[in-house]
Chains A and B, each alone.
Chain A
Amino acid sequence: MDVVLLFLMVIGLMLVGVPIAVSLGFSSIVFLLVLSETSLSSVAQSFYQAMAGHYTLLAIPFFILASSFMSTGGVAARIIRFSIAIVGHLPGGLAIAGVFACMLFAALSGSSPATVVAIGSIVIAGMRQVGYSKDFAAGVIANAGTLGILIPPSIVMVVYASATDVSVGRMFLAGVIPGLIAGGMLMATIFGIAVVRKLPKGEWRGWGEVMESGGDAIWGLGLIVIILGGIYGGVFTPTEAAAVAAVYAFLIANFVYRDMGPLRMADGNHKALWEKPIALVTAFFHRDTKHTLLEAGKLTVTLMFIIANALILKHVLTDEQIPQQIAAAMLDAGFGPIMFLVIVNIILLIGGQFMEPSGLLVIVAPLVFPIALQLGIDPIHLGIIMVVNMEIGMITPPVGLNLFVTSGVAGMPMMRVVRAALPFLAVLFVFLIMVTYIPAISTWVPDRVMGPQVRCEGASLPSEPLERAFCEARGFGGAAATE
């Protein structure tokens, strides 16, 4: 009962325009003071520890920063040129290239709106010039942009990993195949529509153009190689990978593409480094660098403000043993994995109407995670399901980050974007069902590369009670450790 009140308070405050972070934090603090012994001092401690004590979340500012350095117009334009060179000649070529470019950009960026802004602003204008309707263009990009959080790296995956203690590296690997499938399904749909409606197609410019544009884009795309290769090659942890990615993106933007920094000249041309070697020093202090750091810092702050307050709410829920109560109720009701996943889908689709994905995940993941394990649902699989739900939440009204961003970049009213996105939204729904009920789509790659998240084989079951329950639910039948 208390919990219902708590959630009503959170939602009520949000709806009157209290910032999401404060709605979460204020409601939680009031409930902590009323219901438990907790002191305000320990609330402050949790707040500080949300940053200083969560090693995984440290990846967030770095991925945001890498993405900011990569979001200069030049990187997106190079990726789009490369995409057109590859698929532009197919029926609906430019639209398919738009999806392909979103997939590539998603591999550089941890967030979906960033993907829409970078790719959408150029591709939507380009599609209209060659004769596509504005609605079609906007619908394609709004949907394809959601791949930003499914194709690694992904901020939402970092948050899920932190909230549930699964490995970030596994989550990133798990996103690869679903990302390719979702992108493939969107492209196939466009192809089908294009054939029926005789949409324009570009011309094949030959392998020379593919090689040339690919060579130009390769520096940007090198980022994904660094991130995945570095993590799985044992060079660095996922958090460090994010920092390395940020430094790499900085170097590429300043010294290779020269879209920003000391080598970029006012007329849009650039100098070579040997003409101005001092740039190696001044780039660090250049106003473009400071501006990018500030923008990334600001985004980090607003996101972490929500996450830190969501962690206080999570503390209330743990304190009141809510996850256990919900788990017991669901298990008592005899829900199996399938029914459970349907309920998770519904909770997330509704929650996604009000909340920003990271904050929602911090609250929902700890609620459903223990139940999922007890039902034998793989934690990595659950993570991907949640991410795909978040994607759909981003393009459904009333609150859909991608809808808003698309309406901005396309200069269209929000409701028109909603209608435009609808046919492709149906594709993502089919995709959600596939991902939900075919675990292998998510788990095959990470299991191959890193072994499963929970290791049931071997002489003994895991020591962690939840993991043990998971193995038992999967039909597996030792000691334990912490320092």
Chain B
Amino acid sequence: MSDHTVSDSMLGRFVNELEESFIALILGLMTIITFINVVLRYGFNTGLIWGLEMTSILFAWLVLFGVSYAVKTTANLGVDAVTNLVPPAGRRIMALFAGVVCIAYACLLMKGAWDYWANFANLPQTTGRWFPTGFEDMTRTSYRSWYEMIDTPMPSWLRWIEPLINQGDAYEKIPRFIPYVILPFGAALLLFRFIQATVRIWKGSSDSLIVSHEAEDAVEDVAHMNKD
């Protein structure tokens, strides 16, 4: 299995463990919540009213958090039919170009993610259409920390944020800036991992951003059974 990227440093191993545990935990929680809701409804005629919304949030977290991990482990799908035909020098140039496109993509996503999230956290959006050219002046409607989710109740252990961000008003449901924070966080991680991956290609320790096919790991596991 190659889901453990080789990391020499303690920190590297720790971060890796953290990322993998988090992905496993989110998917596990999504499954359990949905399952419990079925049991409650079918067996007990009741249900967690927030179950569906919470699962949807976790789904977004899984993908937005996990996508940087997929870049780190070179798990993203791509087409290598053409790149395999060109000589190594050409392949390296193509891979570097691909890396630059990915970085540009992550930058655009990062700006969008910040702009989307910022007002929900009473923070200024950036100005500019393609590139951030500065921060906007906040107007009276730029403060949207009051904006709550629909079903998920505010847990009492989070109440301490109310005086900090909601002028002391109590939240009935969790405010939107909490689930949405995964957007800027995930986009920043994605940008970081794409830069790392491109540097690896530049240094020659890697030659591509893609795994050609989804089942490569599994295939490696069983291939020995049919080797001549």
In the complex, A touching B, CB below 8 Å? yes
Give A contacts to B, CB under 8 Å: 13-22, 25-26, 29, 33, 39-45, 47-48, 50-53, 55, 57-58, 61-62, 65, 71, 113-114, 116-117, 121-122, 124-125, 128, 134, 235-236, 239-240, 243-244, 246-247, 284, 289-291, 293-306, 308, 354, 356, 398-399, 401, 404-405, 408-411
A408 touches B220 (CB 8 A): yes
B86-118 Cβ-contact flags toward A at 8 Å (1 or 0): 000001001101100110110011011101110
- What's the nearest-Cβ distance from chain B to residue A7, in Å? 15
B142–chain A nearest beta-carbon distance, Å: 13
Is B26 touching A243 in the complex (CB atoms < 8 A)?
no
Tell me the count of chain B residues lying within 8 A, CB to CB, of chain A.
84
B38 to chain A, nearest CB (A): 5
B140 CB-CB contact with A under 8 Å = no
Q: Which residues of chain A are within 8 angstroms of B123 by Cβ–Cβ distance? A: none
User: Quick one: given A25-B105, A409-B226, are A243 and B38 in contact (CB under 8 Å)?
Assistant: yes
Contact A117 B66, beta carbon cutoff 8 Å: no
Q: A246-B31, A408-B223 are in contact. Are A305 and B67 (CB under 8 A)?
A: yes
Quick one: which of A44, A290, A293, A398 contacts B109, CB cutoff 8 A? A44
Q: B82: shortest Cβ distance to chain A, in Å?
A: 4
**B90 nearest CB across to chain A (Å):** 10
Selecting from B5-13, B52-60, B154-162, B167-175, the interface stretch reads B52-60
- Nearest-CB distance from A362 to chain B (Å)? 14
Give the contacts of B202-228 with A (CB-CB under 8 A): 208-210, 212-220, 222-223, 225-228
Cβ-neighbour of A53 out of B56, B75, B109, B226 (below 8 A): B56
The docked-state distance in angstroms from the alpha carbon of A19 to that of B108 is: 16
Tell me which residues across on chain A come within 8 A of B1, comparing CB atoms.
Answer: 291
Q: Told that A18-B102, A301-B69 touch, could you supply 11 new A-B pairs with CB distance under 8 A?
A: A48-B60, A51-B59, A61-B31, A61-B62, A125-B226, A289-B24, A298-B66, A301-B70, A356-B214, A401-B215, A411-B226
A17–B115 contact, CB under 8 A?
A: no
Chain A interface helix/strand/loop/mixed: helix
- Chain B residues within an 8 Å CB radius of A39: 112, 115, 129
Whether B223 contacts A302 by the Cβ 8 Å rule is no
Given known contacts A39-B112, A409-B219, A65 and B31 CB-to-CB distance under 8 angstroms: yes
Closest to B79 in A: A14
Which B residues are CB-close (under 8 A) to A244? 35, 38
Q: Is B73 an interface residue (CB 8 A)?
A: yes
Nearest chain A CB to B34's CB is how many angstroms away?
4
B183 contacts the other chain (CB 8 A): yes
B137 within 8 A of A: no
> Which of chain A's residues has its CB closest to B220's CB?
A408
Task: Enumerate 10 A-B pairs (CB-CB under 8 Å) in ascending A order.
Answer: A17-B83, A20-B77, A22-B105, A48-B64, A113-B215, A290-B24, A297-B24, A356-B77, A409-B222, A411-B227
Binding site for A on B (CB under 8 A): 1, 3, 20-21, 23-28, 30-32, 34-35, 37-38, 42, 52, 55-57, 59-60, 62-64, 66-67, 69-70, 73, 75-83, 91, 94-95, 97-98, 101-102, 104-105, 108-109, 111-113, 115-117, 125, 129-130, 179-180, 182-183, 187, 208-210, 212-220, 222-223, 225-228
Q: Judging by beta carbons under 8 Å apart, are A405 and B116 in contact?
A: no
Q: Which residue of the partner chain, among A124, A293, A354, contacts B79 with CB atoms under 8 Å?
A: A354
- Whether A26 lies near B42 (C-beta < 8 A) is no
Question: In the complex, are the beta carbons of A404 and B213 less than 8 A apart?
Answer: yes
Given A121-B225, A299-B214, A401-B213, answer yes or no on A40-B56 (Cβ-Cβ < 8 Å).
Answer: no
**A240-B38 in contact (CB<8A):** yes
The CA of A51 and the CA of B55, in the complex, are separated in Å by 10
Chain A residues near B101 (CB, 8 Å)?
13, 18, 22, 26
CB contact between B214 and one of A13, A113, A411 (< 8 Å): that residue: A113
A61 vs B63: C-alpha distance when bound (angstroms):
10
If A61-B30, A293-B24, A354-B79 touch, whether A55 touches B209 (CB-CB below 8 Å) is no
Chain B residues in 8 Å Cβ range of A236: 38, 42
B115 x A405 contact (CB < 8 A): no
